[in-house]
Amino acid sequence: MSNQGIGASVLRKEDKRFISGRGHYTDDFSVPGMAWAAFVRSPHAHAKIVSIDTTAAASMPGVIKILTGADWAADKLGGMPCGFVPDADRQNAPPRPALVADKVRFVGDLVAMVIAATSDQAEDAAEEVIVDYEVLTANADPARASTAPLLHDEAPENLVKDWHLGDRDATDAALAGAAHVVELDIINNRKAPNAIEPRASLGIFDPVREAYTLYTTSQNPHITRLLLAAFVMGIPETKVRIVSPDVGGGFGSKIPFYPEEALVAWAARKAAVPVKWAARRTESFLSDTHGRDHVTHVKLGLDADGKFLALKVDTIANLGAYLSTFGMLSATYLYATLLSGQYVIPSISCRVKGVLTNTCPIDAERGAGRPEAAFVVERIVETAARDLGIDGIDLRRRNFIKPAQFPYQTPVALQYDIGDYEAILDDAMKAADVSGFAARKADSEKRGMMRGLGFSAYIEACGLAPSNVAGAIGAGIGLFESAEMRFDPTGSVSVYTGSHAQGQGHETTFAQIVSDKLGVALDNIEIIHGDTDRVQWGHGTYGSRSLAVGGSAIAVCCERAIEMGKKVAAHLMEASEGDIKFADGKFTVSGTDKAKTLAEVVMASFIPHNFPHSEMDPGLDQRSYYDPKNFTFPAGCHICELEVDPTTGNVDIVAWTAVDDFGNIVNPMIVDGQIHGGVVHGVGQALLEEAIYDEHGHMVTASYNDYAMPRADLMPDIKLGFTNTPCPHNPLGVKGCGEAGAIAAPAAVINALTDAIGVRSIDMPATPAKVWAALREGAPAQAAE
């Protein structure tokens, strides 16, 4: 069985349906009598709704029902809940209506919903809904939010929270006494997540049970159920079933509970027909939560020997027009707690002003706060090295947390459990042939090209999250994960997990854990997820948490099933329970040749003719809830080598090396794929991608014609390496790998690019136009004090 267990590159079970066109994504489901919804969205970034006239639309062919904010208010339904405000301080947290009745606050805000027999008819009629707006001045720029027209009365100066972490006084004192202080202004560009499957929902209402079924594109169906039932509808959760079948990518954008999901469910009741909505791509750009959008000033203080003394970070974080489901989480605790990077920095102070603007709400996007932190740390470290004339590698080595210092308590709340950052750096440098770079650079110069090398020694906190920590910082949920394991009489196993894949391959990796622990063949293991009527409870998949938390819950079930099986085996083989051993799928009696396979033991437990019922129940079924003891801390070093054509400003990535520490690895093939995807995500942010709003709050990059997505020719193959230190506090020793590439890559690219063209800084995305301009203007020198 070892070729199917932990550590094997098993081909994915789920692929069989995906490669043959037999996946089941939300939009693939249709039910008899189903109607379609189309939304009337605000074309203005900020405007009062004077009136809505649906008369003409209502007489269009096929129209069944038109709903507006007035209908929503008349039904006394709740607003869209926000599950996280830092430190549970809701003073300036504005509400979000599902359908807007009074004032729209971003282009794409929902004004009306048309339900018609076909999607074309619904879209045609939506065009005929006449909305009279009184247009107000809009603002999309987070840096100008405090003086811009007010979005919500609840948030004076458009401020949700002026938040702080760390020791401000100690940091200021350390900076005042530092031999060198290096400063940098950083813009972390707004991204659109762009899962290739657009969001979709299908709502069905059963008037007899007064119950809803909602098929929807969600990374966390149970959270969606909780929010829809308890916060919006005010009905028991038993009256709501959420089914998220195959999900075509998420990257954070399918975490939030969206107004469209609530509206489709509600409309199924109001219109008395099942209602489906599938987003057009432009709707995705306008309304899928965006990521990043920080404006930051950072100061790093160093002593005369280049030792870090203090880091001070001031960030304005754009939250968009409303607080999304996880509101300010990405901009606060998932960001500031990572500002120590891989380094000993005695004092850190981080202030984040979370502000509202007339833009799409911001929430988690692959990495969620951690890419922003890694970019700040690795850009200021590299900039300090260059300003002070110290080799960047050497400066990092001087300041790394050393293996003997673990567990290491940072000044920003986290306690890193384990790592060996210098070993990672050594391995990465070897793999990238850093010693041969000078020769390669000389060769580029001969061809009139400019070559650069950039490092990014990142860290992240994954395995979200210990529930007590989540509670202490203001989250409205715990963050354990659940698993249920059911055995059939013949020994096949079904595992119900609260994690929910959107491409991560859980049906394979989770089955590998079970196969490894119980010796059951992969074909006899089914992983079941994504349906609240089948799965007991789950917090879902994001934050690279599924293997470390959801996988650990499954491992605990396996251990408990073995313990229970030992009781049955002891009874069957007339031995003492203490003498029973389990290995390779067999229970044996120590010192004898007696043995029973797991399947035999399960079968016997299902036929309890001669069974001590007072001591045990039939079957070996288990349920467990794993609450992590700490976060996990994947870390790594990515090295980008690129060439710039000075005549065009075009950037060509010529080599990429990634050496990562993910702890134990269950399926190396899948982990490689996660790094590939993550890196390209991060390179996309660095060179191509930006969700741009103009001065009127109109999004000018709302289609694939305008938003530059990474394509297959963006970069060459990635050289991968692993320097793993197993996580000491979860049963699998795993850390998580889904976001690493997106966290590491942007700083590696910009460090390489600034190295190549000899400027101190350049904003992302570093498009050819920006690079070309930087080459001609040079960058204003910002020398160290």
Partner 1 sequence: MTTVRMSVNGKEASGDIEDRTLLVRFIRENLRLTGTHVGCDTSQCGACVIHVNGKAVKSCTILAVQANGADIVTIEGLAQDGNLHPVQAAFRENHGLQCGFCTPGMIMAAVDMIERHGAKLDEGTIRSELEGNLCRCTGYHNIVKAIKAAAHEMAGAA
How far is C-alpha 132 from the geometric centre of its chain's CA atoms? Answer: 38
- Segment near partner 1 (CB under 8 A), from 429-437, 564-572, 665-673, 773-781? 665-673
| Residue of 681, 685, 747, 752 interacting with partner 1 (CB under 8 A) | 681
Identity of residue 148: A
Q: How far is the CB of 255 from partner 1 (least distance, A)?
A: 15
Kindly report the CA angle at 341 between 336 and 343, in degrees rounded to 5?
130
- Segment near partner 1 (CB under 8 A), from 99-107, 195-203, 370-378, 480-488? 195-203
| Residue of 27, 363, 382, 481 interacting with partner 1 (CB under 8 A) | 27
Phi, psi of 510, deg, nearest 5? -65, -35
User: Binding to partner 1 by residue 18, rule CB under 8 A?
Assistant: yes
**Whole-number Å distance between alpha carbons of 28 and 33:** 15
User: Binding to partner 1 by residue 94, rule CB under 8 A?
Assistant: no
User: Binding to partner 1 by residue 30, rule CB under 8 A?
Assistant: yes
The nearer residue to partner 1, 194 or 358, going by C-beta atoms, is 194
- Segment near partner 1 (CB under 8 A), from 63-71, 226-234, 280-288, 603-611? 280-288
User: Binding to partner 1 by residue 673, rule CB under 8 A?
Assistant: yes
The nearer residue to partner 1, 226 or 665, going by C-beta atoms, is 665
User: Binding to partner 1 by residue 248, rule CB under 8 A?
Assistant: yes
User: Binding to partner 1 by residue 194, rule CB under 8 A?
Assistant: yes
| Residue of 78, 173, 245, 282 interacting with partner 1 (CB under 8 A) | 282
The nearer residue to partner 1, 46 or 191, going by C-beta atoms, is 191
Q: How far is the CB of 167 from partner 1 (least distance, A)?
A: 40
Q: How far is the CB of 426 from partner 1 (least distance, A)?
A: 25
User: Binding to partner 1 by residue 195, rule CB under 8 A?
Assistant: yes
| Residue of 7, 14, 423, 627 interacting with partner 1 (CB under 8 A) | 14
- Residue 650 · residue 775 · CB < 8 Å: no
User: Binding to partner 1 by residue 709, rule CB under 8 A?
Assistant: yes
Q: How far is the CB of 154 from partner 1 (least distance, A)?
A: 35
The continuous run of DSSP H or E covering 285 comes out as: helix 281-287
Q: How far is the CB of 139 from partner 1 (least distance, A)?
A: 28
User: Binding to partner 1 by residue 700, rule CB under 8 A?
Assistant: no
The continuous run of DSSP H or E covering 347 comes out as: strand 347-355
Q: How far is the CB of 196 from partner 1 (least distance, A)?
A: 5
| Residue of 245, 249, 608, 619 interacting with partner 1 (CB under 8 A) | 249
Near partner 1 in 114-153, by CB under 8 A: 120
Q: Give yes or no for a cis peptide into 765 (omega within 30° of 0).
A: yes
User: Binding to partner 1 by residue 718, rule CB under 8 A?
Assistant: yes
Near partner 1 in 44-63, by CB under 8 A: none
| Residue of 4, 25, 219, 399 interacting with partner 1 (CB under 8 A) | 25
Q: How far is the CB of 20 from partner 1 (least distance, A)?
A: 6
Q: CA distances (Å), 713 to each of 81, 685, 709, in order? A: 41, 16, 11
- Residue 145 · residue 356 · CB < 8 Å: yes
User: Binding to partner 1 by residue 644, rule CB under 8 A?
Assistant: no
Near partner 1 in 250-269, by CB under 8 A: 251
User: Binding to partner 1 by residue 281, rule CB under 8 A?
Assistant: yes
Q: Which residues of 29-43 are buried (b: 16+ CB within 10 A; e: fewer)?
A: beeeebbbbbbbbbe
Q: How far is the CB of 460 from partner 1 (least distance, A)?
A: 18
- Token pair, residue 324, equals 């999304």
User: Binding to partner 1 by residue 402, rule CB under 8 A?
Assistant: no
| Residue of 4, 6, 12, 437 interacting with partner 1 (CB under 8 A) | 12
- Residue 748 · residue 678 · CB < 8 Å: no
3-class SS of residue 121: helix
Judge residue 753's burial from the number of C-beta atoms within 10 Å of its C-beta, 0-12 exposed, 13-18 middle, 19 or more buried. Answer: buried
| Residue of 201, 504, 512, 605 interacting with partner 1 (CB under 8 A) | 504
The nearer residue to partner 1, 122 or 175, going by C-beta atoms, is 122
Q: CA distances (Å), 519 to each of 164, 584, 597, 664, 754, in order? A: 50, 5, 9, 19, 53
The nearer residue to partner 1, 4 or 730, going by C-beta atoms, is 4
The nearer residue to partner 1, 200 or 240, going by C-beta atoms, is 200
User: Binding to partner 1 by residue 502, rule CB under 8 A?
Assistant: yes
- Binding string to partner 1 for residues 330 to 369, with x set by CB under 8 A, is what? ----------------------------------------
The nearer residue to partner 1, 75 or 706, going by C-beta atoms, is 706
Q: How far is the CB of 653 from partner 1 (least distance, A)?
A: 12
Q: How far is the CB of 188 from partner 1 (least distance, A)?
A: 20
The nearer residue to partner 1, 329 or 680, going by C-beta atoms, is 680
User: Binding to partner 1 by residue 676, rule CB under 8 A?
Assistant: yes
Q: Torsion over CA of 758, 760, 765 and 769, rounded to 10 degrees?
A: -50
Q: How far is the CB of 743 from partner 1 (least distance, A)?
A: 15
Residue 189 has, within 13 A of its CA and on its CB side, a CA count of 25
Find, among 198, 365, 363, the residue nearest to 283 by Cα.
198
- Segment near partner 1 (CB under 8 A), from 85-93, 101-109, 129-137, 709-717? 709-717
Q: Which residues of 102-134 are buried (b: 16+ CB within 10 A; e: fewer)?
A: ebbbbbbbbbbbbbbbebebbbbbbebbebebe
| Residue of 669, 692, 779, 784 interacting with partner 1 (CB under 8 A) | 669
User: Binding to partner 1 by residue 22, rule CB under 8 A?
Assistant: yes
- Token pair, residue 511, equals 């089955």
Q: How far is the CB of 357 from partner 1 (least distance, A)?
A: 26
Residue with tokens 């099942």: 274
Greatest CA separation for the chain: 88
Distant-in-sequence contacts of 212-215, Cβ < 8 A, 24+ apart: 212/239, 212/240, 212/241, 212/265, 212/268, 212/269, 213/240, 213/241, 213/243, 214/240, 214/241, 214/242, 214/243, 214/261, 214/264, 214/265, 215/26, 215/29, 215/243, 215/244, 215/245
Find, among 659, 571, 668, 656, the residue nearest to 611 by Cα.
571
The nearer residue to partner 1, 23 or 726, going by C-beta atoms, is 23
- Token pair, residue 222, equals 């149970």
Phi, psi of 14, deg, nearest 5? -70, -20
Find, among 681, 742, 752, the residue nearest to 458 by Cα.
742
User: Binding to partner 1 by residue 719, rule CB under 8 A?
Assistant: no
| 720 beta partners | 658
Q: Give yes or no for a cis peptide into 465 (omega within 30° of 0).
A: yes
**Whole-number Å distance between alpha carbons of 527 and 521:** 13
- Segment near partner 1 (CB under 8 A), from 327-335, 490-498, 573-581, 676-684? 676-684
Q: How many residues bind partner 1 (CB under 8 A)?
A: 57
**Whole-number Å distance between alpha carbons of 62 and 65:** 9
| Residue of 103, 180, 280, 307 interacting with partner 1 (CB under 8 A) | 280
CB count in 10 Å sphere of residue 147 = 9
| Residue of 711, 776, 777, 781 interacting with partner 1 (CB under 8 A) | 711
Summarize as ranges the residues that interact with partner 1 (CB under 8 A).
11-12, 14-23, 25, 27-28, 30, 120, 194-198, 246-249, 251, 278, 280-282, 502-505, 669-670, 672-673, 676-681, 703-705, 709-714, 717-718, 741
